Amino acid sequence: MSEGDESAALTELAKRRGFFFGSSEAYGGVGGFYTYGPQGAALKSNVEEAWRERFAVQEGNLEIEAPTIMPEPVFEASGHLDGFDDMLVECAECGESHRADHLIEDNSELEDAETLSPEAAAEKIADLGLVCPTCGADLAGQSVEDFNLMFETNIGPGSSTPGYLRPETAQGIFVEFPRIKEYARNSLPFGVTQVGRAYRNEISPRKSIVRTREFTQAELEHFIDPERDEADLSAVEDVEVLLYPATEQEADDGDYVETTIGEAVDDGIIGNAWLGYFLGIAQEWYETVGVDMDRFRFRQHLAGERAHYSSDCWDAESEVDGDWIEIAGFSYRSDYDLSKHGEYGDDDFTVFQQYDEPKTVERAVVDPDMATLGPEFGAQAADVAEALETLAERDPDAFDADEVTLDVDGEEITVDTDVANFAVETQTEAGEHITPHVVEPSFGIDRTVYTLLAHAYETDEVDGEARSYLSLSPSVAPTNVGVFPLVSNVDGLVDLADDVAEELRAAGFAVVYDDSGSIGRRYRRQDEVGTPFCITIDRDGLEGDGADTVTIRERDSGKQVRLPVDDLVGTLVGLRAGTASFDDVLDDNEVVEA
Ligand code: GAP
């Protein structure tokens, strides 16, 4: 398909067959909000479940569910109040707002306009002679401003408790760290996952569910001790990946690097083994849920592109209509978040790490003489004592002088060194408090759904008729199986079809029962929504050699076999889990000519 066609066909199919559509359309709709219809809700929920299974259950991680609204101090600490901005340019003529970096990228060769400063973006807009996409007015001379993407609200009546809708699910994990670490028995490394809604007041939502104002993230915050916890790459070292490192993006003749996870980590292309580990399992997961690996890459962020909390980041990107879409980010967040919450919050965001052997250390200590400090400093005495302790830890040599100078709440205070009772003591320590570092795989579920639909959309011809179908993976398809009684006027045939449908539903399969229209029409309806298998109950299944048998047809190839009803559940379990292929089923059963 040519560029643009894939998205257009997908959006049309999505609306017509109930995958997704703009929400509140009866009231004119509002940009950036989408409703998932029955097919889309089922597909999305299956993708979320597949993610949970791989990243929470199989990895042995802890899953939580935190509120989507959090008070302002959380986002002061996290840096989102100050640093979570996009570049906005407003049209002086029609007043419409646009994302400056997107306008530049859409109208030039530049792929990383996000890294420009607002001033440089304004200059670029003028140089390129860009006009307002809404009314066509010249945008040259318009200033480019930073626009904070968080939705603000008030918690409770009045405006005394401002809050924000979380812009990432991650903060719900970080703020609960003091409690969660107890459940993890204070034992690093451990991972915490959350699947839930995030909200961003995007300047220009676009490409249907690709850039919305309310979306679903599946995030894993993996807490490690950077000095001790090493990633075990044995399970992923041979995974072949297509990498686009920052250095290659910046080079004139830069190119992709085709390598394995093991080699990329050894060669320092992926600078952190934990990031390598998560890229490896993510690539395998994307493949199992149906992302086309010929349209998939990992791209490293350029320095100016990284979020305020990130020291290295790789995006998983999928190609749709010639554009690369970021579907997940893998970020090394270091101790940024936990340190900030430790500084701003009222709890302990560290973990006590026991040494293998107790250590003998020399430690500078003070025992401030409160009988002297009390009368001299009154209510400030405790703060002065604390400042003495801090100074002893930070700069013990300062106590060589007769007086020490302290900073107490911004005020410079000088005290006699004697009042500190400074000493260097030899202590035996069993361990130390450390602030864990965080490695974060953060998946966008909506963009994954979009990619799966785009990569699964196929057209061909069957019996001289054009057909469009979704070759969705059986592991995530909204409906697992269609059940069709061939005719309704033969004794026992409808009963057998009912029994088959009931048995499959009881075994946990999503079943569509369809007894209307020609069998070809029924197949086409299911093909179009990606149902991987359809079972037809015909006369041959009622008596003679074929008693209690049915046919099962595979969506993409249209091939069919006849198999006993008793084998159905077992066969479908294997097909859905990917432990058996339809070729295996063809080998083991009587093939039926379509
Ligand atoms: N906690 C890290 C974080 O939020 P991010 O790269 O800003 O990182 C992670 O977001 C993922 O969330 C993205 O890779 C993308 O798939 C998805 N995402 C971000 N903004 C989105 C939006 N406006 N609409 C849909 N998905 C979005």
Name the residue ranges covered by the structural domains of the chain: 3-73+157-335+439-445, 85-148, 355-431, 479-592
Output the pTM of the full model. Answer: 0.90
User: In degrees to the nearest 10, what's the CA dihedral of 197, 198, 202, 205?
Assistant: -30
Q: Half-sphere exposure (CA, 13 Å, Cβ side) for 391?
A: 27
Specify the pLDDT at position 544: 82
Query: What is the distance in A from the centroid of ligand 1 to the CA of 89?
Result: 22
Query: What is the distance in A from the centroid of ligand 1 to the CA of 72?
Result: 21
CA distance 307 to 292: 28
> CB of 450 closer than 6 A to ligand 1?
no
Closest C-alpha residue for ligand 1 atom 16: 444
Q: Report how far apart, in Å, the C-alpha atoms of 481 and of each of 14, 349, 525, 557 are.
A: 20, 49, 12, 15
Query: What is the distance in A from the centroid of ligand 1 to the CA of 158?
Result: 31
Cβ atoms 241, 277 nearer than 8 A? no
pLDDT band at 4; cut points 50, 70, 90 = low
Query: What is the distance in A from the centroid of ligand 1 to the CA of 210?
Result: 9
State the architecture of 479-592 in CATH terms.
3-Layer(aba) Sandwich (3.40)
Judging by DSSP bridges, how do beta strands 323-334 and 411-416 pair with one another? Answer: unpaired
Helix (H) or strand (E) holding 570, with range, is helix 568-577
Q: How large a percentage of the chain has pLDDT more than 70?
A: 99
Specify the pLDDT at position 1: 54
Minimum-distance ligand 1 atom for the alpha carbon of 444: 16
Query: What is the distance in A from the centroid of ligand 1 to the CA of 303?
Result: 18
> CB of 217 closer than 6 A to ligand 1?
yes
- 85-148 is a CATH 3.30.70.100 domain: no
Indicate if the pLDDT at residue 87 is higher than 80: yes
Indicate if the pLDDT at residue 3 is higher than 50: no
Residue to mutate (ligand 1; options 85, 169, 192, 215; most atoms within 8 A of CB): 215
Residues contacting residue 563 through CB under 8 Å, at least 6 positions apart = 549, 550, 551, 552, 571, 585, 589, 590
pLDDT band at 371; cut points 50, 70, 90 = very high
Specify the pLDDT at position 304: 85
pLDDT band at 8; cut points 50, 70, 90 = confident
Cβ atoms 223, 186 nearer than 8 A? no
Digit-coded pLDDT (tens) for 137-166: 999 999 999 999 999 999 999 888 999 999
Angle (CA) 125-129-135 rounded to 5° is 95
Selected from 3.40.640.10, 3.30.930.10, 3.40.250.10, 3.30.420.40, the CATH number assigned to the domain covering 3-73+157-335+439-445 reads 3.30.930.10
From 114-123, 214-223, 232-241, 323-332, the region with the lowest mean pLDDT? 114-123
284: phi > 0 → left, psi -120 to 50 → alpha, else beta; which? alpha
Specify the pLDDT at position 580: 96
Average pLDDT over residues 558-570: 96
